[in-house]
Amino acid sequence: MTALISFVSLAVWIGMLVGRGFFWLARERDDKDAPEPDHWPAVVAVVPARNEADVIARSLQSLAAQDYPGPFRVIMVDDQSSDGTAVMARGLGGRIEVIDGAEHAPGWTGKLFAVAQGVARASSTAPDYLLLTDADIAHAPDNLRRLVVRAEAGKLVLVSLMAKLHCESFAERFLIPAFVFFFAMLLPFARVNNPHRRTAAAAGGCMLVRREALERAGGIEAIKSEIIDDCALARRLKAQGPIWLGLSERAVSLRAYPHIIDIQQMVSRSAYAQLGYSPLALAGTVIGLAIVYIAPVVALFFGGLTALFGALAWAVMTVAYQPMLHFYRVSAFWGLAMPLIGATYAAFTIDSAIQHWRGRGGMWKGRAQAIVPT
């Protein structure tokens, strides 16, 4: 039985390496050039912000500094902030418009209600594209231009960048590259970018959306109760046309995660929602993570074929993790920690379910946002 479990772990890893769109190679990136359009379409950036005084200036200034040749403006929606976020944003001036968000409406997650208000304001001028971006994201000066170039060249309805997350503290080096690795494992970017595949995903920190496609998809209201709103939006938009998702260093997160508990809170907000709030799916996920990540280490203590299969599985997961570690410029030796990393994320997933059962699901900025459809 022990040999069978360790063999299953090895087989799963080999299967993921060759059967998940080669997700682990991290090849889908925004580093390829395309011809610039003859006409630059109009774009409005919509930035929902709730208590982001520590990062809002850097984020909005990076948007204001875009070298985009076409019409472009920024709308920040202050989502009932209590820390002076709106005051700081208004002090920046320029092409940044700040609107005060209405009181949180029932049935909506807070962020999406703020986004919907910003989209409504932006749509009054009928822009070609909406740049939906978070208040803790900084953009390189050429980011918008390159997003539009890709969208126009590929006739895409959605272009999304997985913003590069902060990765300097011990906790971040331990867990942040794995967060992106696991995301790509669940939703391989190559499949997302294949118009003939149903797989759809996006990264909410940076999404360029074709406005007309968004309206055809039902607008933001169609996903108003979603915790994992970016992927929900991607599913609706992929029904309207091709989408693209890739890694980037042109959009970077300004939010630091100095302690493991900070990352735990980030993961716990959405992990149980990803499982459809299903206790059965939770049990299956935890068992699966134990077999895939923990069993190879345990197998080493049994000797024989059990240990051999376990060692090979550990080696394969270590190798598979290397491209993501290289992208985040952290030591390759972190690959050896994959069993512990997998166990830690399993614990985060269990915590996510516990928080949901306690009525604190999707907790963000003081709001429990998980809404289970009835």
pLDDT in tens, 58-92: 999 999 999 999 999 999 999 989 999 999 999 88
The answer to whether 131 and 46 have CB atoms below 8 angstroms apart is yes
pLDDT value of position 374: 41
Alpha helices (runs of H) in 217-270, residue ranges in sequence order:
229-238, 260-268
Residue 370 has what pLDDT? 54
Confidence grade of residue 201 (pLDDT, cut at 50, 70, 90): very high
- Indicate the pTM of the whole model: 0.92
Q: Are 352 and 269 in contact (CB under 8 A)?
A: yes
Q: Examine the pLDDT at 210 and tell me if it is beyond 90.
A: yes
The structural domains of the chain, ordered by start, are 2-23+261-356 (no CATH), 26-257 (3.90.550.10)
Yes or no: say if 272 and 353 are a contact pair by the CB < 8 Å rule: yes
**How many Cα atoms sit within 13 Å of 241 on the Cβ side?**
16
Q: What is the pLDDT of residues 229-238, one digit of tens each?
A: 999 999 999 9
- Return d(Cα 8, Cα 19) in angstroms, integer: 15
Q: What mean pLDDT do residues 280-299 have?
A: 94
CA-CA distance, 185 to 22, in Å (whole number)?
9
pLDDT tens readout for residues 156-165: 999 999 999 9
